[in-house]
Structure 1
Amino acid sequence: MIYAFLNQKGGVGKTTLSIHTAAELSRRGQRVLLIDADPQGSALAWANCREQPTFTVIGMPQPTIHKEIDLLRNDYDEIIIDGPPRIAELARSILLATDLVVIPLLPSPLDVWAAAETVDLVREAQVYNEVLKCCLAVNRKIVNTAIGRDVRKALKELDVPILNNDVGQRVAFAESLADGATVLERGDRKGKSEIKRFINELRKIQ
């Protein structure tokens, strides 16, 4: 299965979710490849901080991913692509290579509008990639606030599945990534639980 975390807007937590998805799938015994397709190279920089890698991370910020990924597919059970913001040509290549696009967004009206742009790109790509599926994921949600509920109502207009398991705004995510780790390793109970539920739901979309 090839997952891509993609949104034309930056700062929505694509890299955080990509790394944690790869880490959790690896923890479950899968052979995992994380492709850092963002020219900023944040996932690759994170991997370089790790002493003992548990999955493979490579940089591939180029619009030929859909051609090159076939050479890698047979060596891994799961491939995760951390996509870039605002690079349409690269995004289109990722969409041609992918089975499931996850569009992370913050619970804000601005993010709903930006998500709509990415949904449009997905629908264009589905003409050429017939197996391509898409879902929305609310990230960095602040617990016990009404805005998350209100954003879900607005997202329904996009006519795209919305994951039920949100990921919260937690300092533990930033702290662990800064040290080349994840919340799965650092023992943050709530963050760890959120990621596991998130992955469980993600894997049901086939």
Structure 2
Amino acid sequence: MDIYALANQKGGVGKTTVTLGLAAALARRGARTLLVDLDPQASATKVLDVDTSEQHTVADVLLEPGRYVLSETLVDTTWGFRLAPAETALASREARRSTADEFLLREQLRRLDGFDVVLIDCPPSLGVLTLNALAATTRTVVVTEPAFLALQGIEELLRTHELVVAHYNLELKLAGVIVNRVERTVEHRAGLAELTTFFGAELLWSPWIAKRTVLQEGTRRGVALEDLRSRAAGDVAAVFELLADRIEARRVVA
């Protein structure tokens, strides 16, 4: 089972949208896919229209690990993959620290069977929740925009990544960088050039995801791109298919 953490300490880069698009693309090709919503804002959970009022969530699992298990939270989605939903109570985990907190999610994922790929939608911070994701995962994917402010946060994320490798997870590797919301501007061309120089062509996944209103439309309506049945949606879905190839090529079947 391959586990990917999609991360960036800066919010607003479209990380949840990218995670949803990848999960849908993997599910369409037959990969048994789980999306773990680890963001207290619960954006993925809301887009997928999962009612957590009478449903166990990742917050229950991480706040009371002796009482709840991750498998009890899983729900089917109309997008073809399963979801471990989040709720705002997850924020409490950031404030509560105790010994071995960083390994709670890893221990829960080790109990799961029947998945080929797990995608973890990390919160936009480098607190204990993101540490949980990085300690549990096999690969990190950075999601960013090619804009100056978005690029500044990557170095701190990479330092955290190195810390996790040194102290919590020797198997953790940087899988690459997905560049989202790309526009034809001077700033974005400069940002893309900077990313290419810093990471190299191999780590910078292609194609880039252009800024398209159809992505916001799908998120607003809570439907996968294919269900929008427009040419623009099909074009963006094709981009996610190509990005999913990077995961599929490395996939280890459970």
Question: Structure 2 length normalisation: TM-score?
Answer: 0.73
In structure 2, the residue matched to 1:140 is: 181
CA distance in 1, matches of 2:213, 2:111: 38
CA distance in 2, matches of 1:155, 1:120: 16
- 1:146 Cα deviation from its structure 2 partner: 3.6
In structure 2, the residue matched to 1:2 is: 3
Deviations 1:14-71 (Å, cap 9, x if unpaired)? Answer: 1001111111111011111110000011111122269835211112545521221111
Structure-2 change in CA distance of 1:159 and 1:55 (3 Å)? closer
In structure 2, the residue matched to 1:162 is: 204
- 1:148 Cα deviation from its structure 2 partner: 3.1
In structure 1, the residue matched to 2:138 is: 99
CA distance in 2, matches of 1:155, 1:176: 28
Per the alignment, in what secondary structure is the counterpart of residue 111 of structure 2?
helix
Specify every segment of 5 or more residues in structure 2 that has no aligned partner in the other structure, as ranges: 51-75, 94-101
Structure-2 change in CA distance of 1:54 and 1:184 (3 Å)? same
CA distance in 2, matches of 1:121, 1:3: 16
In structure 2, the residue matched to 1:18 is: 19
> Aligned partner of 1:113: which letter?
Q
Kindly report which structure 2 residues correspond to 1:38-77, keeping only aligned pairs within 5 A, or say none: 38-48=39-49, 52-59=78-85, 61=90, 64-72=104-112, 74-77=113-116
What is the aligned length?
Answer: 204
> Aligned partner of 1:81: which letter?
I
- 1:202 Cα deviation from its structure 2 partner: 4.0
Per the alignment, in what secondary structure is the counterpart of residue 65 of structure 1?
helix
Per the alignment, in what secondary structure is the counterpart of residue 141 of structure 1?
coil
- 1:199 Cα deviation from its structure 2 partner: 1.4
Specify every segment of 5 or more residues in structure 1 that has no aligned partner in the other structure, as ranges: none
Deviations 1:138-173 (Å, cap 9, x if unpaired)? Answer: 10111x334333113322464472113111111111
Per the alignment, in what secondary structure is the counterpart of residue 118 of structure 1?
helix
- 1:75 Cα deviation from its structure 2 partner: 2.1
Structure-2 change in CA distance of 1:172 and 1:2 (3 Å)? same
Contact 1:167 1:198 (8 Å CA) reproduced: no
Contact 2:79 2:224 (8 Å CA) reproduced: no
Between 1:31-40 and 1:156-165, the stretch displaced more is: 156-165
What is the RMSD computed on CA atoms of the aligned residues? 2.2
CA distance in 2, matches of 1:77, 1:43: 20
